[in-house]
Amino acid sequence: MDKIVIEGGKPLQGEISISGAKNAALPLITATLLTQGKHIIHNVPDLRDTRTMLALLETFGVHWERDGATLTINTENIAGFEASYDLVKTMRASVLVLGPLLSRMGRARVSMPGGCAIGARPIDYHLQGFKKMGVELDLDEGYVDAQVADGLNGCTVYFDIPSVTGTENVMMAAVKAKGTTVIKNAAREPEVGNLVDMLLAMGADIEGRDTDKLVIKGVKKLKPAEITTIPDRIETGTYLIAVGAAGGKVKLKNCNPSHLPSLLEKLREAGLSITETDDTLEVSRTGSLRSIDFKTLPYPGFPTDLQAQTMALMSMANGLSVIAETIFENRFMHVAELKRMGAKIRVDGHSAIVHGNGGLTGARVMATDLRASASLVVAGLAASGVTEISRIYHLERGYEDLVRKLDKLGARIKKIKEEK
């Protein structure tokens, strides 16, 4: 297994380009299943998760090829409809094949995702939506077996909490259903908007993009689409926070600052200087860091996927920071690892109280999930001494070229083979 070694304390300088968003690319890839033909998706990051999703589609008989960041996906013939436990256990987003397969084949069998490092993460909203559309659901040997005899019917669904993949799954099932589907309290994340754009390009009839009410009128036929994946707002945020931690001045290109409203304000409050254009961000920190409080919320609130990285930053600030995690019940796995680096953090239920003490020290730490791993990289870049992060396969699920990009910014970082 590989590990990342960082010699901290070196400010970051220079410019890098942001990759396409993992959480946008995954539903765009599964949406190609909706109709026959050759679909083209640009700006797709080459990550463990996008590779896993393509491997899953291959098991259904889909062919694809990659040319740089552009994927051509040929969904002319589809044979299978089962997503096995082996694939779903490595990537929960595999459940995003349910909606498209039900729409195209009337049948899908997908391993039920178990709990994961950040919480129980049920898919009951997805299933309730399908059931209302006329799908018969069976839970058999750990698999959701879903079938619909006479095609899907439009319905109204309401989510208690706006669910990103739940909105995406039900919307994909609805685009060719009979009648109209209304999703109330829908997720408004930019990744959902990217999927709406792809479905519109395929000929779908959807109103309410970027709002909490999506109205989808079923159409008879769809056509293949060409679409560009939006820039990864979580990768963008992670590099902004890294500069906050290590200091220096960095320009991020090919990003979309309008997708990070809450983070930009919070980082400015913490003392970072940030200037933006439509597709670039320039960030620097010369003075000391101020403590800030924040609460994770559905978009446009503070993203849960940046909570761990921002907590690492707060552990180096001067003062007290109160962080509330309201999306996932177990998303504080990074706390124990950050403490090994000298952070002073106390967890109380859904909140963490961080006593910023101005600096961290390098240590051997272990990545527990994707964003927790990113928080350890942020901490390692700023810490005095050497930080060794093991289990970095988590990072490879979601950050394209992380080591190369940070190396380009002057960080002393390398990936090495871990001794057995």
Choices 75-83, 102-110, 124-132, 247-255; region in contact with ligand EPU by CB under 6 A: 124-132
6 strand-pairing partners: 387, 413
Among 123, 198, 270, 360, binds ligand EPU (CB under 6 A): 123
Between 253 and 350, name the residue whose CB sits nearer to ligand EPU.
350
Cβ atoms within 10 Å of 400's Cβ, excluding its own: 20
Q: Mark 312-351 with x for binding to ligand EPU (rule: CB under 6 A) and - for no binding.
A: ---------------xx-----------------------
Stretch that binds ligand EPU, among 159-167, 171-179, 268-276, 279-287 (CB under 6 A): 159-167
> Please, where are the H alpha helices in 106-259?
124-132, 164-174, 190-201, 233-246
Angle at 17 (CA atoms; ends 385, 39), nearest 5 degrees? 130
SS3 242: helix
Q: Residue 315: which of 383, 385, 392 has the closest Cα?
A: 383
348-350-351 Cα angle (round to 5): 60
Q: Nearest 5 degrees, angle CA 268-CA 271-CA 274?
A: 45
Binding residues for ligand EPU, rule CB under 6 A, total 23
Helix (H) / strand (E) element for 76: namely: none
| Among the residue ranges 32-40, 157-165, 348-356, 375-383, the one whose residues contact ligand EPU (CB under 6 A) | 157-165
Binding mask 350-389 for ligand EPU (x = CB under 6 A): --------------------xx------------------
Q: Is residue 163 a contact point for ligand EPU (CB under 6 A)?
A: yes
Q: Which is nearer to ligand EPU, 124 or 141 (CB)?
A: 124
Question: What is the phi/psi pair of residue 77, to 5°?
Answer: -120, 130
Q: Which entry of 1, 55, 116, 139 is annotated as an active-site residue?
A: 116
Q: Kindly tell me which residue out of 14, 115, 122, 179 binds ligand EPU, with binding defined by CB under 6 A.
A: 122
Cβ distance 384 to 362 under 8 Å? Answer: yes
Of 98-106, 123-131, 250-258, 315-323: span binding ligand EPU (CB under 6 A): 123-131
The single-letter DSSP state of residue 230 is P
Q: Identify residues 236-295 at the interface with ligand EPU (CB under 6 A).
A: none
412-417 sheet: strands from edge to edge: 364-366, 386-390, 2-7, 412-417
Task: Name which position in 232, 235, 305, 325 contacts ligand EPU (CB under 6 A).
Answer: 305
Where in 182-211 is the site for ligand EPU (CB under 6 A)? 187, 191
DSSP state of 328: -
Helix 370-382 × helix 233-246 angle, to 10°: 20
Query: Does residue 155 have an active-site annotation?
Result: no
> Is 124 or 140 the residue whose CB approaches ligand EPU more closely?
124
60 binds ligand EPU (CB under 6 A): no
Return the residues of window 165-184 that contact ligand EPU according to CB under 6 A: 165-166
Contact indicator for 349, 320 with CB cutoff of 8 Å = no
DSSP 204: -
The residues, ordered by sequence, that sit 6+ positions from 97 with a Cβ below 8 Å of its Cβ are 30, 33, 56, 57, 60, 83, 108, 110
To ligand EPU, the closest distance from the beta carbon of 174 in angstroms equals 16
Shortest reach from residue 34's CB to ligand EPU, in Å = 18
Say which residues have a Cβ less than 8 Å from residue 155's Cβ, sequence separation at least 6: 129, 132, 133, 181, 182
Q: Which stretch binds ligand EPU (CB under 6 A): 29-37, 122-130, 287-295, 308-316?
A: 122-130
Pairing mode of beta strands 70-74, 38-42: antiparallel
Contact between 398 and ligand EPU per CB under 6 A: yes
Nearer to ligand EPU, 109 or 397 (CB): 397
Q: Which residues bind ligand EPU (CB under 6 A)?
A: 23, 26, 93, 121-126, 161, 163-166, 187, 191, 304-305, 327-328, 370-371, 398
- The residues that are catalytic are 116
